[in-house]
Amino acid sequence: MSARIIDGKAFAASLRTRVGRFAADFAAAAGRPAGLAVVLVGEDPASSVYVRSKERASVQANIAGSVHRLPATTTQDELLALVARLNADSGVDGILVQLPLPPQINTQAIIAAIDPNKDVDGFHPVNAGRLASGLHGFVPCTPLGCLMLLKDQLGSLSGLEAVVVGRSNIVGKPMAQLLLAESCTVTIAHSRTRDLPATVRRADIVVAAVGVPELIRGDWIRPGAIVIDVGINRIDLPDGGTKLVGDVAFDEAVEIAGAITPVPGGVGPMTIAVLLRNTIVAAHRNAGVALEKGAL
């Protein structure tokens, strides 16, 4: 039997449309548009592509996006000074510093300098703590996007066995916290996990966030499980071309799973849509404009 393919692209497009409507209403109520400031240090090609997509998506969603492009030689103090200016700017609701940063800059120091109420990436330790404590805060975009897809597929997640493979601060750990908050029984697996296939076989929900192409094989998947593949890996093909693949061997897993996200077109498009969503939530909070509970 072949799994349902979870169409993250379509889900993200509808979320972006909804965000756009809320952004237009916000601008009318607040007398200014919601503002998202994106900071790019250096010219990493992948980061430049991400930043351009974020800029385009902001405009389409009626959000005033500004991009601050700094040279690769920028010092930590110069970047801290820019973050301080953006923190103080009342037209900026969300601040995103594109990672990775050049080696002379301490990434944690920069993240910690962002006002937690403008931290739409959800990486600030205050927001990580709020998530772990079940308090309102900003949740990292990729795992929140995964949770939205899961809830759309399953409705309630209560009591399900969830295995998250990967324990990064950006994906694995916040993903596990979100699943715990939905009353899943959560296992976090990682590079030191003793028997990864057996661990994954227990799962009703598998979230793969590893960065190893097609690590998770079809026969690791419990029949009918929901598989969310966060991995984005470019691999070389024998004909000299390249191809994007996930952390799950899709062709094998699709025969066993109940539903699965493809790569590309699964989790990837959700990240920017959730970033825009977080920005609109931030704008309402920062301007004291009410946002209907659960609206986004």
Catalytic positions, please?
Answer: 54, 98, 121
Q: What phi and psi values does residue 194 have, to the nearest 5 degrees?
A: -70, -50
> Which of 52, 190, 234, 243 lies at the binding interface for ligand NAD (CB under 6 A)?
190
Residue 183 or 242 with smaller CB distance to ligand NAD: 242
User: Does the protein bind ligand NAD through residue 188 (CB under 6 A)?
Assistant: no
> Which of 231, 253, 261, 282 lies at the binding interface for ligand NAD (CB under 6 A)?
231
Residue 74 or 193 with smaller CB distance to ligand NAD: 193
The answer to whether 105 touches 78, Cβ cutoff 8 Å, is no
User: Does the protein bind ligand NAD through residue 199 (CB under 6 A)?
Assistant: no
Least distance (Å) between residue 115 CB and ligand NAD: 23
Size of the site for ligand NAD (CB under 6 A): 25
The rounded Cα 1 to chain-centroid distance in angstroms is 30
Which residues does 24 contact at the CB level (< 8 Å), separation at least 6?
62
Strand partners, 234: 244
CB atoms within 10 A of CB 125: 13
The answer to whether 177 touches 198, Cβ cutoff 8 Å, is no
User: Does the protein bind ligand NAD through residue 225 (CB under 6 A)?
Assistant: no
Q: Where are the alpha helices (DSSP H) in 73-188?
A: 76-88, 107-113, 125-133, 141-154, 172-181
Asked if omega into 264 is within 30° of 0 (cis), the reply is yes
The answer to whether 159 touches 180, Cβ cutoff 8 Å, is no
Total H helices, total E strands in the chain: 10, 11
Question: If we measure between CA atoms, which residue out of 3, 4, 9 comes closest to residue 263?
Answer: 9
Residue 14 or 75 with smaller CB distance to ligand NAD: 14
Least distance (Å) between residue 88 CB and ligand NAD: 29
The answer to whether 246 touches 214, Cβ cutoff 8 Å, is yes
Task: Report 147-176 residues binding ligand NAD (CB under 6 A).
Answer: 165-168, 170-172
> Which of 210, 248, 253, 256 lies at the binding interface for ligand NAD (CB under 6 A)?
210
Which residue number is nearest to ligand NAD in terms of Cβ?
168
Least distance (Å) between residue 194 CB and ligand NAD: 11
Residue 26 or 50 with smaller CB distance to ligand NAD: 50
Least distance (Å) between residue 208 CB and ligand NAD: 8
**How far apart (Å, rounded) are the C-alpha atoms in residues 239 and 230?**
26
Task: Report 235-274 residues binding ligand NAD (CB under 6 A).
Answer: 267-268, 271
Q: What phi and psi values does residue 16 have, to the nearest 5 degrees?
A: -65, -40
SS3 at position 255? coil
User: Does the protein bind ligand NAD through residue 177 (CB under 6 A)?
Assistant: no
User: Does the protein bind ligand NAD through residue 282 (CB under 6 A)?
Assistant: no
The answer to whether 64 touches 36, Cβ cutoff 8 Å, is yes
Residue 98 or 142 with smaller CB distance to ligand NAD: 142
**How far apart (Å, rounded) are the C-alpha atoms in residues 36 and 26?**
14
The stretch among 23-31, 108-116, 206-214, 288-296 that binds ligand NAD (CB under 6 A) is 206-214
Least distance (Å) between residue 232 CB and ligand NAD: 4
User: Does the protein bind ligand NAD through residue 58 (CB under 6 A)?
Assistant: no
Residues in contact with ligand NAD by the rule CB under 6 A: 142, 165-168, 170-172, 189-191, 193, 196, 209-212, 215, 230-233, 267-268, 271
